[in-house]
Amino acid sequence: MTDLLFAAYPWIKAFHVIAVIAWMAGLFYLPRLYVYHAENDVPEALFQTMERRLLRAIINPAMIATWVFGLCLVFTPGIVDWGQVWPWTKAAAVLGMTGFHGWLAARRRDFELGRNRLTGRTYRIMNEVPTLLMVVIVISVIVRF
């Protein structure tokens, strides 16, 4: 199995990066939709449809692919040295990103059920969370401190 992972490493890494880009794009856009949803008097169904489709058709599959390809990279021999700090900081940030994803999904459900109590300002602030986590992840992987 490890020979297969090593042979497929460039492909796995490419698909991992593609999945990460799709996941991040969705994580950047969904809170922005929530800002507009919380602040505007437009038909609820329009926002709910956009939010549901973005989450189910793009963000969820991209997160799953990111995790699958990322774990394949982790299990590829010689790629990760767990004696260094960077894999731990990246892992913590990825878990944080996954938690943020879950938080966004819960907020979509709140909107759907008419229970949203957060303001557009709150969603604007939360929109910065994936950026901060992305900075930690990219610096961890590239600089490998």
Please report the DSSP string for 111-140 in residue order.
Answer: HHTT-----HHHHHHHTTHHHHHHHHHHHH
Q: What is the pLDDT of residues 39-84, one digit of tens each?
A: 987 778 889 999 999 999 999 999 999 999 999 999 999 899 999 9
* Total tally of structural domains belonging to the chain: 1
Contact between 70 and 16 (Cβ < 8 Å): yes
Structure tokens at 94: 């990825």
Lowest-confidence pick of 2-6, 87-91, 109-113? 2-6
Q: What is the pLDDT of residues 23-41, one digit of tens each?
A: 999 999 999 999 999 998 7
Q: Which domain holds residue 78?
A: 2-143
Of 104, 68, 84, 89, give the one whose Cα is nearest residue 134: 89
pTM: 0.93
